[in-house]
Structure 1
């Protein structure tokens, strides 16, 4: 078993990418021009949760649980503010738009000479706000990504 640190992970924003009724596949992201979002401190969480549907049977006197629609919690991304960073500027611009954007996460888990794991998805940038905190803190840009698709997983691969 091998585990990896989050350190070294990268986040990228692409262009507008419309929702679709079928799950996304890797090829759906092949034409993207990616801009790295720098000074990441926290990538938050990424993944789906099914809504709970309850049904109580009178004869069984038992509540049964079913899985409903799937949705992802907002991905809370925290960055150290860098006014000159093109990725941060793209996030701020995307927050002002109504569209979904392509995103890519790249992990620092590549085997020697191989390629790293990646995650692809679309999301709306729901918020982009600054946090200043206390004197001995770095000013931060916080963004919430409303994930609106499945997450396409690409595992690390040996050469």
Structure 2
């Protein structure tokens, strides 16, 4: 059984994905205007076709140390949430890999380290691509609503 079409991206050796239907566009790294007093994983704002879009750093959100941009760094602009609570946000990633169909990974196949390391609140499901596990992120929970964007705690600061 397949999960569907997703955009896959990476951080270190971990693979992630967002449903392709949620992705608006993928941008090269660019200057991000910082926001005063924002959490460290909320990098700031970029202009996307005249709209101000908040950029979240996947590395910092996951409790990883920051990293300088490389030629592979990308910003994924995506739709978060639905209806009146929906908005456009962006996620800075180490590298975008491809648009692909993911196979579903039965729960018993998911390594325990993946279950413990990535909080379920932002992982919609686990898929497989060419033998590798891929955590499909829930775009609606990554940033539940505009007001919550500044209140999300990094995953490394588990409660």
Using the size of structure 2 for normalisation, the TM-score is 0.30
Structure that is richer in helix per residue: 2
Q: Which has the larger radius of gyration?
A: 1
Using the size of structure 1 for normalisation, the TM-score is 0.30
